[in-house]
Amino acid sequence: MTVAEAERDESAGDFVRSIVRDDIAAGRTAEVVTRFPPEPNGYLHIGHAKSIVLNFGVAEEFGGRCHLRFDDTNPVKEETAFIDSIQADVRWLGYDWAEHLHFASDHFDRLYEWAEYLVRQGKAYVDDSSADEIRAMRGTLTEPGTESPFRDRPAAENLDLLRRMRAGEFKEGARVLRARIDMGSGNINLRDPVLYRILRASHPRTGETWCIYPTYDFAHGQSDAIEGVTHSLCTLEFADHRPLYDWLIDNLPVPARPRQYEFARLNLAHTVLSKRRLIRLVEEGHVAGWDDPRMPTLAGLRRRGVPPAAIRDFARRIGVARADNLVDPALLDHCIRDALNDTAERRLAVLRPLKVVIENWPEGRTEMLPARNNPNDPGAGSREIPFGREIWVERDDFMEDPPRKFHRLAPGREVRLRYAYFVTCVGVEKDADGEPVLLRCTYDPETRGGDAPDGRKVRGTVHWVSAAHPAPAEVRLYDHLFSVPEPGANGDFLDDLNPDSLVVLNDCMLEPSLAEPGDAPVQFERQGYFRPDPASRAGRPVFNRVVALRDSWAKIRAKGG
């Protein structure tokens, strides 16, 4: 964590932190212990990042610890591959759980003992009803449920049945263990919730050891208690489960008294974060995979080139509260630019090339011109880039008949070529469609490096690449995956896919230093931050646009300026 990040944390004052602070002040908590509890059945996304940053952040700020605990209670959905990818993602985000890697399945023995305990106390019973029958007896949101005919089974019979469930005597779905709470409760979670079910599935960690598995409700709070978690932070949809969480803690001989607190999950405009929808995007081929740079997954963000520090910063800036929210992705973009502005080296790259011939430049002559790697950071040093008679400039930097506020190339206008010379456009050649294909310019030899000795100013500076030193590349430009803020608000979310979320440019020209790029994101001056994609091949780099630079000219143009 950087100093700036630490300072921000120092002043952070969300409701979770104020609860923790109060608990410490009142002596209720000696050491703060939190946990990030993913189910290993999918990839982590930026919504999980909010939870990770919160849990690890709170622990760090208060000198406690944060566990990584997998809630692996449903072997039919969970896979080892996700256990690995999730750990990699959390590490990449910048967090370390030290020796506290836990699994709910580590606690299966103890959980089972506690199930028997509840049975002996008359607080749980084995129900022979089918799933359909249980559903029917649960009642509705407005009507109370009805008690199961098996609800008053003697404890001894329940115990025998539970043991036989565990021993594998019954087929899947034949019986369940239920808590004996209150079928008339307005809170459906208290209408005798299922604690254990029979699942004939091989578990990624325990293999064939078990054929009964605890539900989330029975596993989560008890795992918290076993691990000494003090503050169990989860999202709002679990608020209804808190009475059950507390009931179990109250009725079991657990070694500690964890407390659950809920906060609002992150919603990001112009994207989707639900597991179900993300799966559809991947499986139906709307994106190239879980790590498609347009995906809000950590894998996707990583591949796009988003620095983990930017995600941490974003997670802190959105805050933690209990109100539903829909965060503007412009905030994430800002955090990314903010992180990259300080660190990314600058380079010149032409995305949509337009050839320029400098008519008064001698044929065959090449000059090496110094260029700063980061004008905002003198320590970043400089490099030399070749300049010659033929160069490429950006197609958008030329207009034959420009509006007054256009500060770039146009017939008769003089501009500065970044780090090179002033040039004046003296002619245009166009193709049959009237599209410019070549600009004829003259340069002023007195302006080497970009300053005129006579003090004259030019309004615009444009980037360029020497045509005699080509480093061709493919560049992929990304935009929001969905064209509307709330995909699916009016029908199928797939109807809202943005058809222009990916634009592939095949004829880009990079300055020679980019022919074999490193791994770090760089800024293509005046355009944005870009990072090499794993699809790069020798002699043919592929760059992903991480985020575009702010573009006030685009705004002026959009307003008809």
Site for RNA in 473-502 (CB under 7 A): none
Cβ–Cβ under 8 Å, residues 398 and 439: yes
333: left (phi over 0), alpha (psi -120 to 50) or beta: alpha
Query: Position of tokens 């780099």?
Result: 541
User: Site for RNA (CB under 7 A): which residue of 61, 160, 246, 338?
Assistant: 338
User: Is residue 39 among the annotated active site residues?
Assistant: yes
Residue 324 interacts with RNA (CB under 7 A): yes or no: yes
| Per annotation, catalytic residue among 138, 275, 280, 526 | 275
From 163-171, 237-245, 248-256, 293-301, give the range in contact with RNA by CB under 7 A. Answer: 237-245
Report the nearest approach of RNA to the CB of residue 474 (Å): 21
Residue 260 interacts with RNA (CB under 7 A): yes or no: no
Cβ–Cβ under 8 Å, residues 127 and 157: no
E strand or H helix that includes residue 295: none
Report the nearest approach of RNA to the CB of residue 50 (Å): 10
3 state DSSP class of 156: helix
E strand or H helix that includes residue 466: strand 464-466
Amino acid identity, residue 216? Answer: Y
E strand or H helix that includes residue 65: strand 65-70
Cβ–Cβ under 8 Å, residues 347 and 522: yes
Report the nearest approach of RNA to the CB of residue 288 (Å): 26
Considering only residues 191 to 210 of the shown chain, the ones binding RNA according to CB under 7 A are 193-194, 197-199
User: Is residue 237 among the annotated active site residues?
Assistant: no
Give one DSSP letter per residue of 68-125, joined into a string: EEE----TTT--HHHHHHHHHHHHHHT---TT-EEEGGGGHHHHHHHHHHHHHTTSEE
Choose between 98 and 141: whose C-beta lies nearer to RNA.
141
Beta bridge partners of 356: 391, 439
User: Site for RNA (CB under 7 A): which residue of 408, 413, 476, 480?
Assistant: 408
Considering only residues 412 to 431 of the shown chain, the ones binding RNA according to CB under 7 A are 416, 418-419
User: Site for RNA (CB under 7 A): which residue of 7, 84, 109, 237?
Assistant: 237
| Per annotation, catalytic residue among 151, 265, 448, 557 | 265
Cβ–Cβ under 8 Å, residues 498 and 482: yes
User: Site for RNA (CB under 7 A): which residue of 28, 135, 164, 365?
Assistant: 135
**Residue 485 corresponds to which tokens in the numbers above?**
């803020």
Phi, psi of 313 (to 5 degrees): -60, -45
Residue 526 interacts with RNA (CB under 7 A): yes or no: yes
User: Site for RNA (CB under 7 A): which residue of 289, 388, 411, 450?
Assistant: 450
Determine the Cα–Cα distance for residues 506 and 398; give it in Å rounded to an integer: 20
Choose between 242 and 292: whose C-beta lies nearer to RNA.
242
Residue 86 interacts with RNA (CB under 7 A): yes or no: no
Choose between 478 and 524: whose C-beta lies nearer to RNA.
524
Please give the size of the binding site for RNA, defined by CB under 7 A.
Answer: 93
User: Site for RNA (CB under 7 A): which residue of 173, 378, 381, 427?
Assistant: 173
From 8-16, 105-113, 465-473, 496-504, give the range in contact with RNA by CB under 7 A. Answer: 8-16
Choose between 122 and 449: whose C-beta lies nearer to RNA.
449
Q: How many residues does the chain have?
A: 561
User: Site for RNA (CB under 7 A): which residue of 337, 413, 531, 545?
Assistant: 337
Cβ–Cβ under 8 Å, residues 436 and 398: yes
Residue 18 interacts with RNA (CB under 7 A): yes or no: yes
Report the nearest approach of RNA to the CB of residue 224 (Å): 12
**Residue 537 corresponds to which tokens in the numbers above?**
């091949």
Determine the Cα–Cα distance for residues 148 and 416; give it in Å rounded to an integer: 83
Query: Position of tokens 């008519």?
Result: 359
Cβ–Cβ under 8 Å, residues 204 and 78: yes
Cβ–Cβ under 8 Å, residues 127 and 161: no
User: Is residue 459 among the annotated active site residues?
Assistant: no
Query: Position of tokens 């910063």?
Result: 313
Contact pattern from residue 344 through residue 373 relative to RNA, giving x for each residue in contact according to CB under 7 A and a dash for the rest: --x---------------------------
| Per annotation, catalytic residue among 5, 8, 21, 39 | 39
Choose between 26 and 323: whose C-beta lies nearer to RNA.
323
Considering only residues 456 to 475 of the shown chain, the ones binding RNA according to CB under 7 A are 460-461
Contact pattern from residue 45 through residue 84 relative to RNA, giving x for each residue in contact according to CB under 7 A and a dash for the rest: --------------------------x-xx--x-------
Active site residues: 39, 265, 275
